[in-house]
Amino acid sequence: MIETMKLVLDTFGSMVFVPIMLFIVALILKTPVKKAFMSALLAGVGLCGFSMLTGGYSTYLANVISTLVSDTGINMSAMDLGWQSTATIAYSTTVGMLFIGIGLLLQFVLFFIKWTPVFMPSDLWNNYSFIIWGSLIYVATGSTFLAMGCMIVRSLFRKSLDF
């Protein structure tokens, strides 16, 4: 099952899969088809734009930083590319994409058991901040179970603070 899902995600990528998921969720929530389609399409364009920006500017930024280091003598070992890069990485991993479905199901359950007073399917966009941790755990350990557990616990913790 996971291998099939990985094949589908690798074939289409996050720029296609995320808008499809958003379209399906919007239809489930009885959004008019045209509005659901346009919203999903704009989300896909946004993801494409993030990828283009982070991919296109990282080379130039690396050159600027190298020049800055050589001219000033500053020696820093890391470069912060911002949340866009983190979100792109988080949603481009297999466990990150799997968590979109699991996270959505979890949000439905938490809403229906009144753990949280608001159901926000668009909140999945904000989940990149802990999906990245699950993705890193998956890369480090190879354990889908451990990575999903991390993301679910983090999601539950965050939802407990929503009141």
Enclosing domain of residue 82: 2-160
Cα gap 125→81, rounded to integer Å: 18
Q: Do residues 23 and 37 touch, judged by C-beta distance below 8 A?
A: yes
Q: What is the pLDDT of residue 147?
A: 92
Would you say the C-alpha torsion 153, 157, 158, 163 has a positive or negative sign?
positive
- Which segments within 33-163 are labelled E, that is strand? none
Cα gap 145→135, rounded to integer Å: 11
Q: Do residues 24 and 36 touch, judged by C-beta distance below 8 A?
A: no
Residues in the chain: 163
Q: Which residue has the tokens 């407990």?
A: 160
Q: What is the pLDDT of residue 35?
A: 94
Highest mean pLDDT among 88-102, 112-126, 131-145, 146-160: 131-145
Supply 4's token pair: 């099939």
Other Cβ atoms closer than 10 A to 103: 21
Per-residue pLDDT at 163 exceeds 50: no
pTM, two decimals, is 0.54
Using alpha carbons, select from 155, 154, 124, 148 the residue that is nearest to residue 134. Answer: 148
Q: What is the pLDDT of residue 123?
A: 64
Q: What is the mean pLDDT of residues 24-34?
A: 91
Beta-carbon contacts of 145 under 8 Å, excluding residues fewer than 6 positions away, are none
Helix (H) or strand (E) holding 5: helix 2-12
Using alpha carbons, select from 15, 77, 71 the residue that is nearest to residue 46. Answer: 15
Number of domains present in the structure of the chain: 1
